[in-house]
């Protein structure tokens, strides 16, 4: 079984290792005996067919400016896929552009593609530092934020995490982080995000599997043995994930 994973704008929207999310997804897919075909989409590329999961990262305001016109060209493809429950994860800069608009602190308005019913306003103060956010659905999420844009959720959209306990998340007032609409997730958390937050990785994989008509029940622990140490691959992955999360939870802002 192969899943096609699309990385949006890997050349211009990929900061703080956001493309590492793709590596985590690919690795974790192998635990379910699924191989990942990674497709990078950059400006002017042909739009690929039959995509299972779409990923997008963050970028400077200038990077967002660079890709915005191309994003408009592919917006109906993305909107249709979102409506058809394709799982997506958009981090920071692309999270903002999946909303209604991003008014930058320089007074420019970048209209978004309106998959998320959110608005973003650039402020002079950047929100920078480690974040811990509690999500009813996904448990404790950890990551790192760096953004001038502050995002407000409007109607019919839920936060990804309801309570931020360290850092800001969406904005300085609401104490929530990210958003979820159908199978599309938006977040301010870099990290990379997925290696430290496997509940999200598994959820994306599960939603993609459901779209293909099957449920993932078991992770294949047999197939992946660490050669010398006799611990299986899954144990290794979980060990490092757990350690990374423990460290992240102790970090100061
Ligand atoms: N340029 C946007 C902002 O500053 C997004 C930043 C990011 O992707 N980290 O808000």
Q: What whole-number distance in Å separates Cα of residue 168 and Cα of residue 131?
A: 7
**Band of the pLDDT at 218, cuts 50, 70, 90?**
low
- Evaluate: CB of 92 within 6 angstroms of ligand 1: yes
- Answer yes or no: is the C-beta of 12 below 6 A from any ligand 1 atom: no
Q: Which atom of ligand 1 is nearest to the CA of 91?
A: 8
Is the CB–ligand 1 distance for residue 186 below 6 Å? no
Residues 105, 19: Cα–Cα separation, whole Å: 26
Mean pLDDT computed over every residue of the chain = 92
Q: Are 153 and 159 in contact (CB under 8 A)?
A: yes
Give yes or no for residue 186 having a pLDDT over 80: yes
Residue of 93 and 214 predicted with greater confidence:
93
Contacts of 187 (CB under 8 A, 6+ apart): 89, 90, 91, 92, 95, 141, 143, 160, 177, 178, 193
| SS3 state at 70 | helix
- The whole-number pLDDT of residue 226 equals 47
Evaluate if residue 134 carries a pLDDT over 70: yes
User: pLDDT class for 232, splitting at 50, 70, 90?
Assistant: low
CATH number, residue 45: 3.40.50.880
Cα distance between the two ends of the chain: 42
State the pLDDT at residue 30: 83
Total count of domains within the chain: 1
- Say if CB 241 and CB 196 are below 8 A apart: yes
Mean pLDDT, residues 153-170: 97
* pLDDT value of residue 236: 66
Residue nearest to atom 3 of ligand 1 (CA): 147
- Active-site positions read 92, 190
| Ligand 1 near 149 CB (within 6 A) | yes
Q: Does residue 244 surpass a pLDDT of 60?
A: yes
Question: Is the CB of 150 within 6 Å of ligand 1?
Answer: no
Is pLDDT above 90 for 227?
A: no
The mean pLDDT value for 158-169 works out to: 98
pLDDT at position 191 over 50: yes
pLDDT of residue 233: 60
Measure 17 CA to ligand 1 centroid, in angstroms. 14
Q: What is the pLDDT of residues 10-44, one digit of tens each?
A: 999 999 889 899 999 998 898 888 999 999 999 99
CA 237/CA 249 separation, integer angstroms: 18
DSSP string, 201-223: HHHHHHHHHHHTT--------SS
pLDDT above 70 for 231: no
Only one residue has tokens 């939870």, namely 249
**CA of 201 relative to ligand 1 center, distance in Å:** 22
The parent domain of residue 9 ranges over 2-250
What is the pLDDT averaged over residues 197-220? 87
- What pTM value is reported for the model? 0.94
**What is the percent of the chain where pLDDT is above 70?**
92
DSSP classification of residue 167: S
């Amino acid at each position: 079984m192969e899943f096609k994973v699309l990385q949006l704008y890997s050349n211009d929207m990929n900061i703080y290792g956001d493309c590492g999310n793709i590596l985590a997804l690919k690795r974790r897919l192998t635990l379910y005996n699924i191989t990942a075909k990674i497709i990078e989409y950059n400006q002017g590329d042909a739009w690929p067919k039959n995509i299972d999961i779409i990923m997008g990262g963050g970028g400077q305001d200038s990077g967002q400016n660079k890709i915005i016109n191309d994003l408009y060209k592919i917006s109906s493809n993305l909107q249709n896929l979102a409506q058809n429950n394709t799982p997506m994860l958009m981090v920071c800069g692309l999270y903002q552009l999946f909303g209604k608009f991003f008014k930058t602190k320089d007074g420019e308005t970048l209209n978004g593609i309106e998959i998320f019913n959110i608005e973003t306003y650039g402020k002079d103060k950047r929100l920078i530092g480690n974040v811990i956010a509690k999500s009813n659905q996904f448990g404790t999420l950890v990551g790192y934020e760096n953004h001038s844009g502050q995002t407000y959720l409007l109607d019919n959209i839920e936060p990804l995490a309801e309570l931020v306990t360290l850092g800001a998340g969406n904005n300085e007032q609401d104490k929530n982080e990210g958003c979820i609409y159908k199978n599309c997730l938006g977040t301010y958390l870099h990290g990379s995000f997925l290696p430290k937050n496997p509940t999200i990785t598994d959820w994306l994989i599960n939603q993609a599997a459901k779209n293909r008509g099957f449920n993932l029940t078991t992770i294949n622990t047999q197939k992946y043995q660490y050669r010398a140490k006799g611990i299986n691959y899954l144990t290794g992955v979980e060990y490092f994930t757990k350690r990374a999360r423990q460290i992240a939870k102790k970090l100061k802002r």
